[in-house]
Amino acid sequence: MEQLPASLLYFTSQLQNFVRNTVKLNTLNTQTLASNGATQLRVALPVNAVASMKSLSMYCDMSTKGRAASGGQVAVNALIPRNGPIACFDRVSVSAGGIALDNGVTPYHVVYQMRQNLLSGNQKVMSDDKVLQQSVLRSETGALGQTANYPAGHNAADTEDLSQQGQKQSFIVNNFAGFTECHPEYLDLSLLPQVFVTIQIANASVLPLQQASTNLGDDITSTLTDGMSYALKNIHFTLDVCQIGSGMYSALTERVLAERGSIDIPYPQFTIFRQDSSSASSSIRGSVSCMSLDRVTGFMRNTDGPTSYQLNQKPVKAEDAVGSKFSNHADTFISQGVRDYQLTINNSPIPTYRPTPLQAFNYVVCADDRTYSRSRGGSVASQPQWLNNCWCAHHRLCFDNDISRISGTNVSSVNAQISFQTYGDGTGNADKSREVAVMTEQTSILRCGAGRSCAVVA
C-alpha cells in the first residue's frame, strides 16, 4: 500500500464498517469419505461475500485400518500417510454455475507433493505442515518398544486405533492448489454464480504400511490382502469473509463493469500426462492449449516389481533429509538410471542442451527466484534426496512469478506439443520400469460480467 498515491490512500481509508469474520461451511452430500464407502463430497461457497480464497480450510478426523494377525500372517499396520488427507485426494475441482474452472487434474496428491518439493522450505514443513497436515510420517505405537510422545493427560486411544492395526488423528487442510490461488486473494463471490468445490479420494493403495514389530521403512514379508481401508469423518470447511459497509466498493465495482464490460480473475491450473516405461530411456508427449503456459515439469515414479505405487507399500526412506525421513511411495519422484534429458516445446529445446538430473535442481532454484536469497529455500536438503526422492525437470516459461502479469508462453492459437525425453546411463537402474509424466502449469482467466455471467479464458 505504501506504493499507492497519497490521494488514493486517502480514499481507500474512507471505507467504513469493514468487518472480517470466519464462517463454517457444511458439505452438501456427506460428512464422511471412505476408501470402501462414499468417495466424493461437495461444498458450496457463500453467494454474497468477499472471501479470502487462500483461507479455505477443510477439517476432518482421519482413521486407517490395517490387518490383524491371523492364519499365520503377521499384523500389518496401515499408517496415516505423509501430508495426511491430501495424500489421499485423487481429484479436487472447482466449478461456478456449472462451468468447470480447472482441469480436475488426477492424481491431485502428486501435484501437491511436487509443489511441496519445489516451493516449500523446511521451516514450513517442520512447523505449520507438521502440526496441521502431518508432514512427517509417524510410526505405529509399540513397534520395537517405541511409544508415542504424547503430552501429559493425553489419551493414546484418541489417536491410535490399535485394535484395527491403524491410526487416528485430526487434520486441517488449508492449501488447495489451483483456483484458491486466484488474484486478487479476496474474491467478491457476488460477481459469480455459486462456486462449488468437489473432492474425490483415492483407494486404500495410497496408505503406507508398517509390519508389526518392525521399524518404519523395513521390508514387509507378509502377504498383503485387500483388508486395508481409511476414512475421513466429521468433515466441514471454514472460510474467511469480509463485509464493507460503505457503498464505495460497490460503486467502484459497478463502474469497472460499466467501463470494461467484465472483470478478469487470473488463477493457476494444472495438467498431467502419464505413461509407463520399461527403462530410463523413455519419452512422453503431451499437448496443451492456453494463453499463458508458465511451467513444464517432467518426472518419474518407481513402478518396478513389487514396489509398484499402485499397491499398498512401506514408506520410502528419504536419504539425508532434514526432518522428514520418509516419504509416501506414491509421491516419490526418482532419477534412477537417468544420465540426462531433453524437454522440447513445439520442437524447441528447453534448455538448448541436455542437462543432467543434478543440473535440474539449479533450474528449480532459478525458477523460484531464490538464487540470491539468504532466508529462503526448498525442503530438499541433499543430492541423494533430490535424485532418489524428489527429482524433476522443472522449467519456468513465464518472466516472473506474479500471477497478475500474464507472461507465460501463449499457445492459444497453436497447441503446445510437449516432449520429455530421458536417456539412460547404462547402469542396472536404467533397466527398471517406471512411470514417466509431464505436468504443466498454466494461467487461466475467469472473466466475470454483469448479472453473474462468467466464462473461462484458457
pLDDT exceeds cutoff 80 at 142: no
Does the residue 9 lie in any domain?
no
3-class SS letters over 295-352: EEEEEEEECCHHHCCCCCECCEECCCCCCCCEECHHHCECCCCEEEEEEEECCEECCC
Judge whether 411 and 289 are in contact, CB under 8 Å.
yes
For the segment 139-153, the average pLDDT, to the nearest whole number, is: 49
Judge whether 340 and 356 are in contact, CB under 8 Å.
yes
For the segment 62-82, the average pLDDT, to the nearest whole number, is: 88
Rounded CA-CA distance 88/326 in Å is 17
pLDDT exceeds cutoff 70 at 153: no
pLDDT exceeds cutoff 90 at 158: no
- pTM value? 0.89
From 227, 229, 216, select the one nearest 69 (Cα to Cα): 227
From 342, 261, 245, select the one nearest 296 (Cα to Cα): 342
pLDDT exceeds cutoff 70 at 7: no
**Confidence grade of residue 162 (pLDDT, cut at 50, 70, 90):** low
pLDDT at 224: 66
Strand order in the sheet with 282-288: 282-288, 416-424, 338-345, 348-349
For the segment 398-407, the average pLDDT, to the nearest whole number, is: 85
Count how many domains the chain has.
1
Q: Of 124 and 245, which is predicted with more confidence?
A: 124
pLDDT at 149: 45
Does the residue 1 lie in any domain?
no
**Confidence grade of residue 235 (pLDDT, cut at 50, 70, 90):** very high
Q: Helix or strand or coil: residue 417? A: strand
Q: Could you report the per-residue pLDDT of 313-332, keeping only the tens digit for each? A: 889 888 888 878 899 988 89
Judge whether 283 and 421 are in contact, CB under 8 Å.
yes
Does the residue 411 lie in any domain?
yes
pLDDT exceeds cutoff 50 at 420: yes
pLDDT exceeds cutoff 60 at 154: no
pLDDT exceeds cutoff 50 at 148: no
**Confidence grade of residue 140 (pLDDT, cut at 50, 70, 90):** confident
Q: Could you report the per-residue pLDDT of 15-66, keeping only the tens digit for each? A: 667 788 999 999 999 999 999 999 999 999 999 888 999 999 999 999 999 9
**Containing structural domain, residue 322:** 17-145+156-457
pLDDT at 310: 63
pLDDT at 16: 66
pLDDT exceeds cutoff 90 at 1: no
Q: Could you report the per-residue pLDDT of 206-231, keeping only the tens digit for each? A: 999 998 888 888 888 776 656 789 99
Does the residue 435 lie in any domain?
yes
**Confidence grade of residue 67 (pLDDT, cut at 50, 70, 90):** confident
Rounded CA-CA distance 414/410 in Å is 9
Q: Could you report the per-residue pLDDT of 283-313, keeping only the tens digit for each? A: 999 999 999 999 999 999 987 655 566 666 8
pLDDT at 143: 41
Does the residue 150 lie in any domain?
no
Does the residue 181 lie in any domain?
yes
Judge whether 30 and 48 are in contact, CB under 8 Å.
no
Rounded CA-CA distance 375/59 in Å is 31
pLDDT exceeds cutoff 80 at 415: yes
Q: Could you report the per-residue pLDDT of 339-372, keeping only the tens digit for each? A: 999 999 999 999 999 999 999 999 999 998 989 9
Joined together, the cell numbers standing for residue 105 give 487434474
Judge whether 209 and 431 are in contact, CB under 8 Å.
no
Does the residue 65 lie in any domain?
yes
pLDDT at 403: 82
Does the residue 126 lie in any domain?
yes
pLDDT exceeds cutoff 60 at 145: no
What are the C-alpha distances in Å from 82 to residues 112, 130, 199, 325?
A: 12, 9, 19, 11
For the segment 167-175, the average pLDDT, to the nearest whole number, is: 93
Rounded CA-CA distance 446/458 in Å is 9
